[in-house]
Amino acid sequence: MELNLKNKVVIVTGASSGIGLETTKMFLAEGARVVGVSRDMSALADLGALDHWVTCDVDLRQKGAGDAVARATLEAFGRIDVLFNNAAICPTRGGFLDVSDDDWAETMNINLGGYIRMARAVLPTMIAQKKGVLIHCGSEAGRMPHPLLPDYSTSKAAITLLSKALAREFTPKGVRSNVIAPAHIRTELWDRPGGFLHALADYYGTTIEGAVDAFLVESKLPAGRLGTPRDVAMAVLYLASDLAEFISGDVISIDGGVIPTT
């Protein structure tokens, strides 16, 4: 079976690293026309000057940011078929009492507010087309929160309800909305200085790789390994395709089997 994504117009937010970058590359490989949204354009320079690829340097924390992305997409390609809401932050904390009001506001503004702004901006075009796909990057932390990620976990739980509300309202108008819920995906957010693995190393009192081993044992991950951005991107491409045309309002777990679905 073919995904048939050639010439589909896809917006990817958070396109410059991790899951977003891998998903962007895979959409391009399938022949899709992609708008990569990021505040860091340097990582996207390696993708080159393709006639089916443009970048959009926008801060999704700002009002009107989603509208700016939608306008740029329509100017470049004339339609919007898929939105992959992916831009997010994942700050590691010392626990709930370590999170200030400003911390909560920033996390919710980026992780939830940015998704709302983007969905609101692209929906009128998708409704007019009578077809479109919204895919939102949630997290299994939204169902099984980690004590070091209280605000992140809360924002990801909210994304699931946002998507279900969008699916209920807009599926009858031809627009599907789904969430992917990755867990234990090793990206730059894990490995960067001060990232999740460094926090886990402090938590377990061990080295970075020792923290990975301890985490795999504690989480009892059936797959026996951490996931990769490609594992997630494959699910995004499937949901973007017509193969998934009867899937809306759902949450697709990409977690190596760690959280039972029943």
Number of C-alpha atoms within 13 angstroms, CB side, residue 132?
A: 28
Closest CA to 232 of 31, 25, 93: 25
H or E element that contains 71: helix 65-77
**Active site residue: 152, 203, 204, 238, which one?**
152
Beta bridge partners of 178: 135
Other beta carbons within 10 angstroms of residue 23's beta carbon come to 30
Cα gap 197→203, rounded to integer Å: 9
| 141: three-class secondary structure by DSSP | helix
Question: Does the active-site annotation cover 238?
Answer: no
Taking CA atoms, 200 is separated from 52, 147, 195, in Å, by 40, 11, 9
Q: Hey, which residues are catalytic here?
A: 152
